[in-house]
Structure 1
């Protein structure tokens, strides 16, 4: 069973999976220079993992959307209930994706709107105003607020054409990669997988004492996704949102 086709009224050029581009975008939106994205080069080699500053506030995974993946997600989504939570009732801030090819943007919004990362959003910034508006809205209204934000679109457009990968000539061209985000709830300390293409946030359970988002629970989910594609991880890449290093 395939995922039902989504009809979009707005289309963006997809973002390149590049921590410098992602960092530039969050700063344009109003996140303090105290935060930045960094590549995570390995989930298994202690020496490479030790290079990642802790705590990790969020993780963004980019991966190929194969036919096998789409069938698995369609099956899971058929059993899921639609998300209709907002405000103080939310364990995490969740944005339903309604802008085509903008999954990188939604992953960024999930990363900076949740957990301790949200403390680094500068007051009065476009992002601060947008989140203050969105958290009180139901998911469908929240989605429209993102679509209608000219400041968000302008900041996105200013960085989307950067990078080493040629952007599609037509924003409506389909791409074969997808971004999702992992965060830690400010409310209950649970770890969540956030994907704007899914019906709702996925609760991965409580983080261990002292665990940040780069925890074994999240790493296990990522490993499982890689294994489900035959164990080949060449087309998977991971970025961590961390405190900027001098």
Structure 2
């Protein structure tokens, strides 16, 4: 049976995460160490620099529709996913408190997908445009959709995550997520984007989740969510603002988190003056379906 908007359940946001007020994350490379203080879940609503504000206004989003941004908060994302049809005993979102090996070991395993929030800067925009001009064949392996709705990157990141792990999890039959992925399975990335843009049920669900965070929601976003997933032994970066999935080489379910962390470290090195970064892992629950 179809699930109506009124049947989407969003319980109170649980305050069970480890406090990170005084936590420092050290992202090490051979030549330099980056210290990122005060990594509270920042969400995509915190404004950092005038230049980043300008870059956010220049996003090539063909639709005039804008949603409130989803906060980079595992509790909010859990309630969102569980309400849309991912059973609570199947998977859960967790903060990744650092990219050092010892901090990655703290993340519950196995990791199914990784979400990364980063600030939009002139450097990131330049790289995105360069990738868009590269003549490469689009992979048909990964479930991928374009972003046409402003500030929808959090929801699209979660759809990218769930859409590429359906062999590892069991969605609630007939739930919104189950119906959405089945309906869009044969669509191309732009058709999926149009389907999402016109889906009132998802828009309402996103709005509920966006206002459930710890910080006041604003549509003036200067940061962006992307997803990393392992598909057929290959690490893919799934970014709805890019023209296609970006392959980062071989990977495996057991090394997904470490492989994604290396790519994320490189992205942070390219933006040394920015500090609004956040990493969230979606991990399989013990006892879930396989």
TM-score normalised by the chain length of structure 1: 0.86
Do the aligned partners of 1:42 and 1:49 also contact (CA within 8 Å) in 2? yes
Question: Could you tell me which residue of structure 2 aligns to residue 12 of structure 1?
Answer: 67
Question: Could you tell me which residue of structure 2 aligns to residue 189 of structure 1?
Answer: 233
Question: Could you tell me which residue of structure 2 aligns to residue 240 of structure 1?
Answer: 281
Question: Could you tell me which residue of structure 1 aligns to residue 250 of structure 2?
Answer: 206
- 2:268 corresponds, among 226, 237, 243, to 226
- Counterparts of 1:38-187 in structure 2, within 5 Å, are 38-46=94-102, 48-80=103-135, 83=138, 90-115=140-165, 119-168=169-218, 171=219, 173=220, 175-185=221-231
Greater length-normalized contact order (CA 8 Å, ≥ 6 residues apart): 1
Task: Work out the CA distance in 2 between the residues paired with 1:27 and 1:138.
Answer: 26
- 1:22 corresponds, among 77, 95, 101, to 77
Task: Work out the CA distance in 2 between the residues paired with 1:131 and 1:142.
Answer: 9
Deviation string 1:147-202 (CA, Å, 9 cap, x unpaired) is 1222211211111111121111xx4x4x11000000011xx221110000000001
CA 1:65 to 1:82, structure 2 compared with 1: closer, same or farther past 3 Å?
farther
Q: CA deviation at 1:119?
A: 2.3
Task: Work out the CA distance in 1 between the residues paired with 2:101 and 2:280.
Answer: 16
Task: Work out the CA distance in 1 between the residues paired with 2:124 and 2:188.
Answer: 29
CA 1:138 to 1:49, structure 2 compared with 1: closer, same or farther past 3 Å?
closer
Q: CA deviation at 1:51?
A: 1.8
Task: Work out the CA distance in 2 between the residues paired with 1:4 and 1:99.
Answer: 11
Structure (1/2) with the larger helix percentage? 1
Task: Work out the CA distance in 1 between the residues paired with 2:255 and 2:165.
Answer: 10
Aligned positions, number: 230
Q: Which has the larger radius of gyration?
A: 2
Task: Work out the CA distance in 2 between the residues paired with 1:97 and 1:51.
Answer: 32
CA 1:117 to 1:177, structure 2 compared with 1: closer, same or farther past 3 Å?
farther
Q: CA deviation at 1:117?
A: 6.6
- SS of match in other structure, 1:23: helix
- Taking only aligned residues, the RMSD between alpha carbons, in angstroms, comes to 2.2
Q: CA deviation at 1:118?
A: 5.6
Task: Work out the CA distance in 1 between the residues paired with 2:227 and 2:217.
Answer: 22
Specify every segment of 5 or more residues in structure 2 that has no aligned partner in the other structure, as ranges. 1-54
Task: Work out the CA distance in 2 between the residues paired with 1:6 and 1:57.
Answer: 29
TM-score normalised by the chain length of structure 2: 0.73
Task: Work out the CA distance in 1 between the residues paired with 2:229 and 2:85.
Answer: 19
Task: Work out the CA distance in 2 between the residues paired with 1:159 and 1:80.
Answer: 38
Task: Work out the CA distance in 2 between the residues paired with 1:233 and 1:37.
Answer: 24
Specify every segment of 5 or more residues in structure 1 that has no aligned partner in the other structure, as ranges. none
- SS of match in other structure, 1:137: coil
